[in-house]
Amino acid sequence: MDECDIVTTRVLDAPRERVFRAFSDPAQLARWWGPDGFTSTFQGFSFEPGGAWTFVMHGPDGTAYPNESHFVEIVPLERIVFDHVSGHAFRATFVFTDAGNRDAKDRDAEDRTLLHWTMHFGNPAECAKVARFVAGANEQNLDRLAALLGQDA
């Protein structure tokens, strides 16, 4: 990790297929993307390299935050990379790896996924400017993802 990166990791109690689908299916993604109290209205979601993801995040105070990202790389069940080009510019990389079973003795236990999320900013000053709130917001995002995965179990 360097001074231009914000890194968030989480072990999720769901197999990679389910976690990846929560990112790649816009109906699921809209249910959990954003920190606590936020909702998202998707305007476009072309999940392919070169495709765009445009949406508005609605804050709990009613503020609208337009977002635009462009997908750079998609390796099913392994990695998603996109460039966020509106507002604070950064490259987001999500890496999905197997984290094993909850109980190694129980062969029927559901697989878990280690999610490694890196946000890479163009310079340390920009990273430092947003790091104060982004790290906590990312944790809230992943709390909402974990809740969604628990509902769909």
Domain extent listing, the chain: 5-37+75-151
Collapsing DSSP states into helix, strand and coil, what is residue 34? Answer: coil
Contact 58, 64 (CB under 8 A): yes
For residue 81, pLDDT over 80 is answered with yes
Tens of pLDDT along 124-147?
Answer: 999 999 998 999 999 999 999 999
Average pLDDT, the chain: 92
Q: In this structure, what token pair is assigned to residue 118? A: 């890196």
Collapsing DSSP states into helix, strand and coil, what is residue 105? Answer: coil
Neighbours of 150 (CB within 10 A): 11
Collapsing DSSP states into helix, strand and coil, what is residue 4? Answer: coil
> Is CATH 3.30.530.20 the right assignment for the domain spanning 5-37+75-151?
yes
In DSSP notation, 46-92 reads --STT-EEEEEEE-TTS-EEEEEEEEEEEETTTEEEEEE-SSS-EEE
pLDDT for 2: 84
Mean pLDDT of 75-87: 96
Percent share of the chain, pLDDT over 70:
92
